[in-house]
Chain A
Amino acid sequence: MRTSTWAVVGLSFLAAACGSNVNGSGRTLIQNKGSDTLVNVAQAWAEAYSTVDPSCAVAVSGGGSGTGISSMINGTVELANASRKMKEREFAAARENGVDPVEHIVGFDALVVYLHHDNPLESITIQQLAEIYGDGGSIERWSQLGVTMPAGTSDEIVRVSRQNNSGTYVYFREAVLGKEGRYKLGSLDMHGSKDVVDLVEKTPGAIGYSGLAYATEHVKLVPVSPGEGQGDVMPTVESAVDGTYPIARPLFMYTAGQPTGKVKEYLDWILSDVGQRIILEKGYAPARHF
């Protein structure tokens, strides 16, 4: 008798385990994972969507664009968030797994160059950014940009960057350093969009790049110019939408094949006026005008 009771307990435990993708209450679960840039707006969408369709729950996790895309390829998530396009290598891995990734643009993001609040720099060009961040670049000191740092602050530029599976890292490299560009060694590579801003806020000689949504009043947003004498553009939602800001990028969600059922409903809702208003509130540019 005793043994059989235990067997039943054990079996039901296993049964519960095997049905892992079916939620206890029959709710459909959408797994949404990836970009740290998108994680907060993804969370806001998931939070709002729980009242739109209570029969559907969206689980959000971060980890980086690369993490999300590889999870989509191996089938553990339905929706991968990415702040960059999928690479050829990733498409190849997907094909090998019998997955045909479909890209959806869900918004745009202005990549902001952040400075410490006391930094007197008024504007920066893409070329200067490349000299600062790029392998072989010549700019190492603030004085080379023609600014004098406040007394007591080192003239040396402290470069703050991202970890290499970050979509922000990849996009900044492509947009600023060029296709073949490589980062200069010796930067401080942070693990999240917010970490970059937090570190720049506390470090007088620092420069860093991160999404516009992570701006706080404690850091300085520096206008970026596409080239010498071509005018400075302040990073804003408007300048990201109209394309004048030089380092704005599309934000993606990838699905394995064309979305169907609840995943399609969720994506349609994200691109609806309600969903797009949420991304706008979070400090990103919407994917379309509404």
Chain B
Amino acid sequence: MSSFRATELDRRNQRRERWVRGLFLVMTLMLILPVLIILGTLAWRGHSVISLDFLLSFPTNGMTEGGIFPALVGTLWLVGVALVVSVPMGVAAAIYLSEYAPENLLTRSINLAIINLAGVPSIVHALFGVGAFVLFFNFGTSILAAGLTLAVMTLPVVIVSTRESLQAVPQAFREASWSLGATRWQTIRRIVLPNSVSGILTGVILEVSRTVGETAPIMFTGAAFFLPFLPLGVGDQTMALSLHLFTVSTQVPNVPEALPFGVALTLISLVLILNAVSIAFRMYLRGKKKW
């Protein structure tokens, strides 16, 4: 009987177990704390300026009044251009690396390059964008130049997450397809891609969140302090929410205190809304998963 009774050692282990568990729980909760504080502060201090009119009108009176419509539209343009360029390129590169690439020096160098690209600070991307897109390709300071800069910056995110989700598709699926006589490309298109779409979307979500908030890469390549018109094409310059937040909080005198908070709240809400849409889409696709 006595062998089932808790010994001093057992009790000590149990106490320690509770301790460690509690400690890790507290640490996890502390992770959410900044998120709650940021969202709470922005909502509390910025909600008073948010209105349909604020979102859909131009800034007036030296940007201290009026809305943020051109900045909002500009941010959507920039995200759009960045996605149009980086998603096809990133997915294609990931398919090559995951499905075709032999294990050799070239592949290893490519992987190393991708890791390095991911580690480049955004201000360096900005300088690269000015040199390459604005001056060398002569796109001028435009949505195209800024969007391409953002695309280069976010490419590694798309490649890495796509490659990982492609590799998560069981090898047996591919083998079954090949044994039925399908080619590599037929297998990729009909079997691998449909089964990894939800993972690819995760990469896209991450990209969108990063693109919306970036200021440095667009500051010199396409975003303006103020523009009295909406961009009509990729050759135009644009205002952007992130830069607008920077200017109203540091450059423009006599800004009502709630205004920068309102802009920040809009920026973060835009990220959350875009993310929510792709998360919903991902859940829908995941529901159709076959394994």
Contact = CB atoms under 8 A, between A and B. Distances in A.
Interface of A: 13, 16-25, 27, 29, 31, 36, 39-40, 43-44, 46-47, 49-50, 57-62, 74, 76, 191-195, 197-198, 213-214, 216, 282
A contact patch SS: mixed
Closest 7 pairs (CB-CB, A-B): A24-B232, A50-B228, A20-B140, A20-B235, A24-B233, A43-B226, A60-B226
A231 B259 CA distance: 41
Contact of A19 (B141, B225, B235): B235
Interface string B45-86: 000000000000001101100000000000000000000000
A216 B252 CA distance: 12
B211 interface: no
Contact of B144 (A16, A46, A76): A16
12 contacts: A31-B141, A40-B62, A40-B252, A43-B63, A43-B225, A47-B59, A47-B226, A59-B224, A194-B251, A197-B253, A214-B253, A282-B62
Contacts of A194: 250-253
Given A16-B234, A21-B235, 4 more contacts: A16-B144, A17-B137, A24-B231, A40-B252
Given A40-B251, A50-B229, A60-B225, A21 B140 contact: yes
Contacts of A17: 137, 139, 142, 144, 234-235
Nearest to A210: B253
Given A24-B233, A47-B62, A59-B237, A191 B226 contact: no
A242 to B, nearest CB: 24
B227 interface: yes
Nearest to A41: B62
A27 B251 contact: no
A24 B62 CA distance: 26
B158 interface: no
B138 interface: yes
B140 A61 contact: no
Contacts of A21: 140, 235
Contact of B228 (A39, A57, A61, A74): A57
A23 B237 CA distance: 9
B139 A40 contact: no
Contact of B251 (A13, A44, A192): A192
Interface in B180-205: none
A275 to B, nearest CB: 15
B253 A16 contact: no
A218 to B, nearest CB: 11
Contacts of A282: 62
B104 interface: no
A200 B60 CA distance: 28
